[in-house]
Amino acid sequence: MARWTPNPRGRLEQAALELYRERGFEQTPVADIAARAGLTERTFFRHFLDKREVLFGGSRALQDLLVQGVASAPVDLAPLEAVVRALEASGAFFSAERRAHSRQRQRIIEANVELQERELIKLASLSAALTGVLRERAIPDPAAGLAADAGMAVFKAAFARWLEDSPAQDTPAREFSVLVREALEALKGVMDRP
């Protein structure tokens, strides 16, 4: 086995997704993921803490992107609007090229309670990070937490629509930012109803 191969992290992610889909998450040991990728277990653990992290490795990058988006939003924006602007800006993270991978990932998560719990922890961490940056913008509690949690509700709705979106041949897929706005309007509609 060669000492160096291009894109080991990507190869490990792809191998893990294939094996999780074929066998299930619980039935897939790290050794098999590494072997499928043509790498060693040691290489696997250089890139991931455990086999769950293959599915959640992008969480930190997304959190950093959202926090930076809120931090750089105009100071006169309402707290929820600052969060929504950050969500819209995260559209680059949710490119059309990532959709198939994200669909596979979501199916694997939905089939495993442990992974569902991990997904909820990820969303709670995102909300906590957004709450923190809103507090830094002098938004008091409970408004900072409510805006962050509402933003996560918008995110979840937009993400679900983005996964489902399968455009016709003559119609392009909607951008993630458009889906974020649609989800925000749906949330406002819920709040405005008697």
Query: What's the CATH code of the domain at 40?
Result: 1.10.10.60
Closest CA to 185 of 168, 167, 161, 169: 161
User: Which pTM was predicted?
Assistant: 0.87
| 4 pLDDT tier (thresholds 50, 70, 90) | low
75 with 128, same domain: the answer is yes
Within 8 A by CB and 6+ apart from 33, the residues are 12, 15, 16, 19, 44, 51, 54
Backbone Cα Rg of the chain = 19
105 with 165, same domain: the answer is yes
The per-residue pLDDT for 123 is 96
149 with 185, same domain: the answer is yes
Residue 123 domain-assigned (yes or no): yes
Peptide bond into 142 cis (omega under 30): yes
CATH code of residue 92: 1.10.357.10
Q: Dihedral of the CA atoms 166, 163, 161, 113 (nearest 10)?
A: 140
111 with 173, same domain: the answer is yes
Which tens digit of pLDDT belongs to each residue from 92-119? Answer: 888 878 888 899 999 999 999 999 999 9
- What is the amino acid identity at position 143? A
- For residue 100, the tally of other CB atoms under 10 A from its CB is 10
